[in-house]
Amino acid sequence: MIKVLVVDDSAFMRKVISDIINSDPELEVVDRARNGIDALQKIPQVHPDVVTLDVEMPELDGLSVLKKIMESHPLPVVMLSSLTAAGTEQTVRALELGAVDFLMKPSGQISLDIDKISTEIIKKIKVAAGTKKNIKKLCNNTKQIAVSLPSSYQPWTAGELKKLVLIGTSTGGPKALHQVLPRLSADLDAAILVVQHMPAGFTRSLAERLDSLSQIRVKEAEDGEEIKSGCAYIAPGDYHLKVQASACGKTLHVRLNQNPPRGGHRPSVDEMFESVAGQSKLKMVCVVMTGMGQDGTTGLKYMKEKGAKVIAEHQSTCIVYGMPKAAIEAGRVDRVAPLHEISYEIIKMLQS
């Protein structure tokens, strides 16, 4: 049985969420907490495998509780968020701090129709439970390894785009991106395209948070905009990100669409990789990081045919070792690196 602690300041939400979880024979709600302080007292008593945690709570908010959980009792945490400006911003911050995943309450803080996402609640709790050992290992490994990036870069000048970095990630990706993009130099002579599996409404907050921490510019991609060096473009939730060359062939532009999900994903890493593979004149580096499933592996076949170099995140730093594992086992990876070395490997491959 997977033991779950449900934390929500609403008695109604605690009851309904508990009923949904207990409806699955593999899950059991071992206790409920009415606020963050109550949750922190109960965790060492009931020893849950997973905690579902409301983002917006009085007294001690979800972020403060999450920090304390990760410091004293590292556990997989699934955040429950409302689709508000405050809710999305706090959720992105929670993912950065180590929450495994999140769920959107369908109609705000008190969602009478939360049964609409009952299947998703059960699925995400089970996925989160599978990360328990990794969460504890990564949180207990407090040693931070500094990586010195090469200082030999010449500042790039505006002109024809010649280098492109493509990053694909899913579960655990927001935290991983926070350890890769901020390490890249402001004079990076390449553009970056990112597909992070996330629903609509959250990718803009993710981009804004990363932008505030990074030397390069980070933004949510917009349809039709020119792709420029020194900027990272994150695919908007619920949109595939593709690229299209201009008529003269000297510039590259973002193309967004809502074609059917691929492998259950929109945006899809495979869709991005296959679209970019047609731009063979560019020097390209692909990065596949933590995430469930194998999105990106098919697209890497075409990227490799065009001469792209590929980096996969090492199992030791993955929250979920699915996407990198699939790419490695398919024989489409040039370098396997732990998370703290990925930015350095990107720079090396761009310079080689």
Q: Would you name the residues annotated as active-site residues? A: 170, 197, 295
Question: Which of 272, 236, 240 minimizes the C-alpha distance to 257?
Answer: 240
Strand 335-337 versus strand 240-245 pairing type: unpaired
DSSP 3-state assignment of 133?
Answer: helix
Q: Taking Cα atoms as reference points, which of 282, 277, 283, 289 lies closest to residue 343?
A: 289
Residue with structure tokens 């490994």?
Answer: 141
**Alpha carbon distance 18, 34 (integer Å):** 13
Q: What is the SS3 assignment for 262-329?
A: ECCECCCHHHHHHHHCCCCCCEEEEEECCECCCCCHHHHHHHHHCCCEEEEECHHHCCCECHHHHHHH
CA 329 to chain centre: 22
The conformational region for residue 307 under phi > 0 = left, psi -120 to 50 = alpha, else beta, is left
Query: What amino acid is encoded at 191 in this protein?
Result: A
What angle is formed at CA 80 by the lines to CA 218 and CA 241, rounded to 5 degrees?
35
Cβ atoms of 177 and 194 closer than 8 Å: yes
